[in-house]
Every structure is written in C-alpha cells, then in structure tokens.
Amino acid sequence: MGGAEFCLDLCYNPPMYTHYEIKDDTLRIHGIDRLNLARSCACGQSFRWRPDGAGFAAPARGRMIYAEQDGDALMLSPCAQEDVPLWLSYFDLARDYAAIEEQLLCDAGLCRCVPCASGIRVFQQEPFEALVTFILSSNNNVKRISGIVERLCERAGEKTVLRGKEYHLFPAPAAVAALSIEELVSLGAGYRAPFVKQSAARVAGGYDLAALRDLPLDEARKELLCFPGVGPKVADCVLLFSLGHADAFPVDVWIGRAMKALFFEGSAPGRKELEKTIRALGSESGIVQQYIFHYARLTSLGK
C-alpha cells in the first residue's frame, strides 16, 4: 500500500498564525490553522490541563496559564510580553500541521488517521515534568496517571491560584528527590517510586535535560535510557513532548496494532522492519505518530 512509501520532510519559515497581540495581560494569537484546543488538552500528552469555564487551565512551564479557543484564535492569560516566545513554542505554532495533513491525506492508509487527530498540537512541556510523568505512565492509564501527578504536586509543589482556583506547580527536582520511597508509594507511584526518586536526584544533581534538545535523536534517546524506569517508549515520549525531537516515535500497544494494520497487512513486523518504516515517515514522524495513535485508540483497532 502507499503508506510504505510515505515520507514527510517539511521546512517552515513563516509562523503558522497571522499575528498576535497582548492586551490586559492576555495574549491573543490569530489565524491559527489546525488547532483543536480541547483535543490537544485531553489527548494524554499532558496530565495537568483541566476544563475551566469556556477553556482550559493548567500549571505549565512553571507558571499558571488559562487557554481559550475562539475559532482560529487562541487566547492565553496571564501572559507578559517576555513570555510570548515560550507559549508560541509550547503550542508548537511554528509547525505547519495543515501541510502535514495534506500529505497524510494523499496516502491510502494514513488518510484514515487524519479525522481522528486533526487539530491536536504537540505541546512542548518542561523536560523534568515530562520525564517524571512519563515514568509514572508505564503500565498505567491517563485517569490514574493524572491522579498520581496531582497528588505529587500537592505534596511537593508550590501552591498558586488562577481564576479563583487553587493549583500546585510541578515540583522542582530537589523537592521530588527529597520525598521518601514510602511517600511516593502512598501517592500511587507503586513500583515506579524508586525510579522517580532516583531520576529526580540525578536531575537535582545537575543533569541538564534541556541539553538533549541539541543532540541527534539516537544520542538523546541513549542518554534518557540511562535513567531508572525509562525504556524506549518513555524516552521517545520525553523527546517528543518536551525536547523538540519531532522524529521521536513512541511505540506502545496501540501503535503496534496500527502499524501492523497500516503498513504490514496485519502481520507483526520485526524490529528492523518497524524501525525502517518509522524512518521512512521522515523528520516529523513523531507528529505523524499522533495521528496514527489516535486513529488506533478511537477505532479500537485490533481489539
């Protein structure tokens, strides 16, 4: 089928919005193509976003933010001028998702994936938060992960308020490392508790996760695999959702089922075959992965 030959390598110059303005501590970004805020906040890439009024609120990147969509505009508050680049990056607004979808729609197999994930933007989260939350995600479900993360933040994170509601920021590495194994277990971390504590201690000790952004994918993945509790899937989640590696391609049960159906006529591929197929998807294979993942989930593929 056509999917085996699919390759996506796109270059972007202008931003994928028309303009932005700040008024009364609110950033309004206009002319965004392919944005579905509700889908993006609820798709399982981040565990902190909660519905709030007509939008969503979350502690993100060390501060509180309220986000609301109005057609092709995104409103974010509170936002100071100096924070604009951070939020443009967080919501991946330099990436042309419309062009990605156009190429997916030209493929006989991958075209089925587009309606399932159109509008989802891959958030660029804080790397330590991504590391801990995806360690906690192993053999877990989104609802339970979200509960563990919230309890961890309540125990060790800084208290803050937005729109009259109390939240807790994600705790600093030293604060997580200071928790005992027993405390982490009581929060629901289970067998992952020592992995979280040891990984936090390593980052608190000076390990620079952000530096992995500048390494080639294979080298960055190799570094993350040295952290306790980090396997290939968790490593690729951290790389994709916090470190800008758009070619990181997390593989779980759902992706395994979808790849078999879309590329291998229902047969299980060998590791090298699968890796070759993923590489053929191009430099934004991780973005394509989101379409494939949600297609598999929403259609209960292979169940």
Give yes or no for residue 185 having a pLDDT over 60: yes
Q: Which residues contact 154 (CB under 8 A, 6 or more apart)?
A: 168
Residue 143, CB-side half-sphere exposure with 13 Å CA sphere: 0
Amino acid at residue number 69 = Q
User: What letter would DSSP give residue 48?
Assistant: -
Domain, as residue range, for 46? 2-117
Strand partners, 221: none
Give yes or no for residue 205 having a pLDDT over 60: yes
Contact 200, 206 (CB under 8 A): no
Please indicate, yes or no, if residue 68 is contained in any of the structural domains.
yes
Let me know whether 66 and 171 are in one domain: no
Nearest-CA neighbor of 208 among 224, 225, 232, 228? Answer: 224
Let me know whether 99 and 149 are in one domain: no
Percent of the chain with pLDDT over 70: 95
* Domain harbouring 42, CATH code: 3.30.310.260
Let me know whether 156 and 196 are in one domain: yes
Contact 277, 261 (CB under 8 A): no
Let me know whether 97 and 145 are in one domain: no
Q: Classify strands 55-60 and 50-52 as parallel, antiparallel or unpaired.
A: antiparallel
Q: What's the rounded Cα separation, in Å, for the pair 246 and 98?
A: 16
Let me know whether 199 and 113 are in one domain: no
pLDDT at 139: 87
Let me know whether 113 and 143 are in one domain: no
Q: What's the rounded Cα separation, in Å, for the pair 211 and 63?
A: 22
pTM confidence score: 0.93
pLDDT at 301: 77
Please indicate, yes or no, if residue 35 is contained in any of the structural domains.
yes
Q: How many helices (H) and strands (E) does the chain have?
A: 14, 8
User: What letter would DSSP give residue 227?
Assistant: S
For the segment 274-296, what is each residue's pLDDT rounded down to a tens digit? 999 999 999 999 999 999 999 99
> Mind telling me the catalytic residues?
233
For the segment 3-44, what is each residue's pLDDT rounded down to a tens digit? 445 566 655 556 789 999 999 999 999 999 999 999 999 999
Structure tokens at 210: 């952000």
Please indicate, yes or no, if residue 291 is contained in any of the structural domains.
no
* Domain harbouring 164, CATH code: 1.10.340.30
Structure tokens at 243: 């470190």
pLDDT at 16: 87
Query: Could you give the number of structural domains in the chain?
Result: 2
Give yes or no for residue 303 having a pLDDT over 70: no
Let me know whether 102 and 13 are in one domain: yes
Buried b or exposed e, range 121-140, using 16+ CB within 10 angstroms: bbbbbbbbbbbbbbbbbbeb
pLDDT at 159: 98
Let me know whether 106 and 40 are in one domain: yes
Let me know whether 149 and 78 are in one domain: no
Amino acid at residue number 59 = P
Give yes or no for residue 236 having a pLDDT over 80: yes
User: Which domain-ending residue is among 66, 89, 117?
Assistant: 117
Q: What is the mean pLDDT of residues 112-134?
A: 97
Structure tokens at 191: 């067998």
pLDDT at 40: 97
Q: What is the mean pLDDT of residues 220-239?
A: 98
Strand partners, 55: 52
Let me know whether 136 and 72 are in one domain: no
pLDDT at 265: 87
For the segment 253-272, what is each residue's pLDDT rounded down to a tens digit? 999 999 999 999 888 899 89
Nearest-CA neighbor of 241 among 91, 95, 51? Answer: 91
Q: What's the rounded Cα separation, in Å, for the pair 259 and 195?
A: 30
Let me know whether 69 and 170 are in one domain: no
Give yes or no for residue 1 having a pLDDT over 50: no
Residue 88, CB-side half-sphere exposure with 13 Å CA sphere: 19
Of residues 200 and 11, more confidence is placed in 200
H-helix or E-strand containing 204? helix 193-204
- Length in residues, the chain: 303
Question: Chain-wide mean pLDDT for the chain?
Answer: 94
